[in-house]
Structure 1
Amino acid sequence: MRAIADSTVVLRPHELRLKRRSNSSLWQIHYKIGSKKKWLRITSKTSDLDAAKQVAEDLFHESRVLEKRGLSVVSKKFKAVAQVVSNNLKAQVKAGTGKKSYADYYRAIDSYLMPFFGNHHVDNITPALISDFHRWRTEKVGYELKASTQNNHNAALNCVFDYAVEQGYMSESQRPSTKNTGEATEARGIFSTEELIELQQFIRKWGAEGRASKSRYLRELLGLYITFIACTGVRPGTETKELKWKHIEFIQKPSMRVIHITLPQGKRGGRELVARNELWPLLEKLRELQPEYKDLTLEELIAKKEDKHLFRMRDGTRPYNLVNAFGDCLRESGLSKGDKDGKPRSLYSLRHYYATQRVLEGLDFGQLAKQMGTSILMIERHYSHLKPLMIAEQLAGKIPDDKTAQADEILRYMNASPVRNDVISLVGASTGIYLPLVEANPKATKELKDELNKALGKAT
């Protein structure tokens, strides 16, 4: 058995003792209460041994009373507890051992819970304070968060409470009930290819009408940003904010060259995707917007791995808020709601457009889920009702004329032209380049021909 140091005074064996550290004249109280196996520590704030003994005995008796009443023995500020929980969640996400939802939890803790509850004691979070938090949060963001987002916040709050109970900073009886005042998430409005092309035509005119150069630059970039999301399916904001030129590469495959994009951050961390080949004119246009790259070809810029953001305006600055600009654009163009479904549109409607186009194309749900950084369950939930009949009708070259709900869905999404032509048309509307890759990029054409000739054993 380890010998007790000379600076330790035992008041109650295995329950209460005083200890003075070599670098301090003050006595520290170490105590255990009830079934707690962990030693709790607090300073006596005195160097007098007799006084320290009295403080320790008083603290011990008060703590026993608190435990019998089902209250916390040690009180901690919410911020101190929440910071530990947030750091633990971040470490698990980084190590790949945590749930995907942990990223949502630590963001909620850092951005909402600690700023509001931080200076309150964790064992004194009351239902009234929870209600005040809801009002504060609504004022902070300017609107009532959807039910799904509030569920994430509530789960994050309970993670903090779980840890506080485990550490003895609060009792289970002191845990307040959370509430959800948000509405269920509504399906977003959809876009057809024709509507997106109409939107791009409007943006060209709208951009030229901007009084200030900053407005014209922002609107010009917005048009390219819209098409990029519609053609890649990335999450606007979360996955585009830190996207840089160095995250894009051209990879030569046996029959074609593909555009490979590594998204550095997003809803569930970083991920990779393969963009459609028709996207290259859009990248070329983004290169043209940035004067420092005027002497580089797109291929040279991609090979250079530049550590600069992809979405920058002509003056080199990054846009402050493309969400508001997109909302203004929809209102001015009269396209804020879908003609077919009447639902409000947002930037996420472009991601929905991408998924719909891929379903039309017959892409496997598993591949689409991986490409979009989501689950197969989510893809099936939103698109399984479209796939079987849509693909069958498309292959047969017919559009159903019956009055079923499935037929209405098919008519809503189907376009007369092939999906690939839709993408080329959309990219062309935003860049002014309508030619397919092999026609507009001779270098890529030659590379492809050389590869084919090698495969056929012919001399180039």
Structure 2
Amino acid sequence: MDKKKDYIRLEKGLAIYKMEKSANWYIYLWDKETKKPIQKSLEIKDKTEAEHEARFLKRAKEKGLDCSILSQPSQKLKTIINSLLKSYEKERKALNTRDNKYKELGRYINIFNELKEGFGEINIKDLDYAHLLAFYQKYENKISKTQLRYMNLAIKKLFNHCLSERLINVVPATPKIKTKVGETGTYFTNTDYNTIINKLQNRSRKKGIQTENNKLLLNAFIFSTQSGIRTGKELTNIQCGDLTVEEIQGNKYWICQIKGGKIAEKDGVKRKIILTPQAMNCIKDILSDTALMGGIVDAHLIRVLKDNKDRYLFRRKKGKEVDFATLFSDLRKDIIDNLIEKNLKMYSCRHTFITNQLKRGANINIVAKHAGTSCEMIEKHYNHLLSIMKPTELLEEGYNVETKYQVLPRPDYDLMFANIELMEETNKKLSKMTPEESEQYLKDNNIPVSQAPI
């Protein structure tokens, strides 16, 4: 490596020097703005001339004059991104693949690679709103809100890095695009629900892991449908210690604290959900192998949960996580011919819970809080149910359709035609009579004048 020589300090923050393999003088100038030294060749061989040039450049920079010779070398976007990728991949390598941070870093890495592929040769100082807009528009109506959020975070991290390294002074605005409209997940009809339950309960499985997985899937399926919990980390992170009994308005209920997954805590408030008796039966079934569970009464259950507070309920006995999505997919293939809806997924348990709550007219805000989502998301994905949730709120007078109705009797056409013939015959007789005779005929035959033939 070429070394410095003949270093001459001219004043504070300013010096000239030579490199061993160069005849030219270099400038050393401390940049107060970037807090870094500027070291450039002056392309001057004479010492005195180099001193004058160095002093001139220092004064010019202090007065904000254009000194292209002192400008920092350009940084291509791909160079900056490669540096970030190296750091992110190193951090990711040290994490467990099941860790949420591992997946999060993976999202950023993918976004950075896509950005580098499209705009890698552009200087970071030249990267502007137009470039970002071209990048974002490729994903218009193609990505979800979650994917867009990660994209915005990745871009923000990139520019924050560039700001901290003083590579840029201004951050361009982030474009706004429309995300794809998410489809409401399919929910279980009573028929499909019972078909799945019956299959799981009567499924012949080999002993060991298959039996254990089947039992967990059965209970996870019922528990998720009864609680509306997300069937990933929210479910698999539940431990015995997360279940407690709380008194609410004079009644005692089983409460479960959500620790993992998408929304375990919001605005500093931990999310808790109330559990139905059916959901608690799943917990009891999972713990049926535990001592003191013979009676399965709440007093015993409270004690067992307390004694096993660190045990994960919806994992195998040794704490190994279960991929319920894959297990359910395999089950669906076995019974696909018996299902009405063919596109059911494990996540359909959550959609079924929310759908059932809306159908029975539950308060949307409470459903949203319980499910760890927003009213806006429920209105967006379940709006087809909202207009029929409470018909009485739309109708001035509510009513039930009477399904039992009477059929009007079939007209007696023979009698009808006989009456017509009688009328015609009477009309002929009356036409031959005087008015006085007609009036007397009607009285004698008890025919009201209003019903007399015309």
Q: What is the TM-score of this pair, normalised by structure 1?
A: 0.56
The amino acid that maps onto 1:359 is: L
Whether 1:323 and 2:325 are equivalent positions in the alignment is yes
Q: 2:192 and 2:399 mapped to 1: Cα distance?
A: 23
Q: 1:204 and 1:397 mapped to 2: Cα distance?
A: 41
Q: 2:292 and 2:318 mapped to 1: Cα distance?
A: 11
Residues 82, 109 of structure 1: 8 Å contact kept: no
1:336 Cα deviation after fit: 9.7
Residue 240 of structure 2 corresponds to 245
For 1:299-314, what aligned pairs fall within 5 Å after superposition?
Answer: 299-304=302-307, 306-313=309-316
Q: 1:337 and 1:129 mapped to 2: Cα distance?
A: 50
User: Which deviates further from its counterpart, 210-219 or 194-203?
Assistant: 210-219
Q: 1:335 and 1:146 mapped to 2: Cα distance?
A: 33
1:258 Cα deviation after fit: 0.8
Q: RCO (CA 8 Å, sep 6+): is it higher in 1 or 2?
A: 1
Residue 451 of structure 1 corresponds to none
Between the aligned residues of both structures, percent identity stands at 14
Whether 1:264 and 2:259 are equivalent positions in the alignment is yes
Paired residue for 2:183, among 179, 182, 186? 186
1:377–1:112: structure 2 CA closer, same or farther, 3 Å change rule?
closer
1:147–1:237: structure 2 CA closer, same or farther, 3 Å change rule?
same
CA deviations on 1:206-231 (whole Å, 9 max, x unpaired) are: 2x2x2352112111210110111111
Q: 2:345 and 2:223 mapped to 1: Cα distance?
A: 15
Residue 152 of structure 2 corresponds to 155
Residue 205 of structure 1 corresponds to 202
1:179–1:109: structure 2 CA closer, same or farther, 3 Å change rule?
farther
The amino acid that maps onto 2:324 is: L
1:285–1:129: structure 2 CA closer, same or farther, 3 Å change rule?
farther
Q: 1:154 and 1:334 mapped to 2: Cα distance?
A: 37
Residues 108, 153 of structure 1: 8 Å contact kept: no
For 1:401-440, what aligned pairs fall within 5 Å after superposition?
Answer: none
Q: 2:337 and 2:305 mapped to 1: Cα distance?
A: 35
The amino acid that maps onto 2:224 is: I
For 1:329-340, what aligned pairs fall within 5 Å after superposition?
Answer: 329-334=331-336, 339=341
SS at 1:260's partner residue?
strand
SS at 2:322's partner residue?
coil
Residues 246, 305 of structure 1: 8 Å contact kept: yes
1:302–1:377: structure 2 CA closer, same or farther, 3 Å change rule?
same
1:238 Cα deviation after fit: 2.6
Q: 1:399 and 1:15 mapped to 2: Cα distance?
A: 93
Structure 1 vs Structure 2 CA RMSD:
5.0
Whether 1:64 and 2:70 are equivalent positions in the alignment is yes
1:185 Cα deviation after fit: 3.6
Residue 279 of structure 2 corresponds to 279
1:300 Cα deviation after fit: 1.7
CA deviations on 1:322-353 (whole Å, 9 max, x unpaired) are: 111011111212179754xx6x2222211111
SS at 2:255's partner residue?
strand
1:337–1:393: structure 2 CA closer, same or farther, 3 Å change rule?
farther
SS at 1:221's partner residue?
helix
The number of residue pairs the alignment matches comes to 325
Q: What is the TM-score of this pair, normalised by structure 2?
A: 0.57
The amino acid that maps onto 1:218 is: N
Residues 237, 312 of structure 2: 8 Å contact kept: yes
The amino acid that maps onto 2:235 is: T
Q: Quick check: which has more Rg, 1 or 2?
A: 2
User: Which deviates further from its counterpart, 152-161 or 384-393?
Assistant: 384-393
Whether 1:232 and 2:223 are equivalent positions in the alignment is no
Residues 244, 308 of structure 1: 8 Å contact kept: yes
Structure 1: stretches of 5+ with no match in the other structure: 1-8, 19-28, 45-52, 87-102, 131-144, 402-460
The amino acid that maps onto 2:281 is: P
Q: 2:276 and 2:262 mapped to 1: Cα distance?
A: 22
SS at 2:217's partner residue?
helix
1:10–1:221: structure 2 CA closer, same or farther, 3 Å change rule?
farther
Q: 1:42 and 1:242 mapped to 2: Cα distance?
A: 53
Residues 108, 152 of structure 1: 8 Å contact kept: no
Q: 2:384 and 2:230 mapped to 1: Cα distance?
A: 23
User: Which deviates further from its counterpart, 229-238 or 151-160?
Assistant: 151-160
CA deviations on 1:221-257 (whole Å, 9 max, x unpaired) are: 1011011111111111131122101001112345532
Whether 1:195 and 2:192 are equivalent positions in the alignment is yes
Q: 2:111 and 2:145 mapped to 1: Cα distance?
A: 20
Q: 1:189 and 1:365 mapped to 2: Cα distance?
A: 19
Residues 330, 336 of structure 1: 8 Å contact kept: no
Q: 1:167 and 1:363 mapped to 2: Cα distance?
A: 50
SS at 1:250's partner residue?
strand
Residues 159, 171 of structure 2: 8 Å contact kept: no
Whether 1:125 and 2:116 are equivalent positions in the alignment is yes
Residues 16, 32 of structure 1: 8 Å contact kept: no
The amino acid that maps onto 2:352 is: Y
Q: 1:39 and 1:156 mapped to 2: Cα distance?
A: 27
1:365 Cα deviation after fit: 1.2
1:39 Cα deviation after fit: 0.9
Residues 16, 31 of structure 1: 8 Å contact kept: no
Structure 2: stretches of 5+ with no match in the other structure: 1-7, 18-27, 41-49, 55-60, 62-66, 93-98, 122-141, 266-270, 404-454
Residues 75, 169 of structure 1: 8 Å contact kept: no
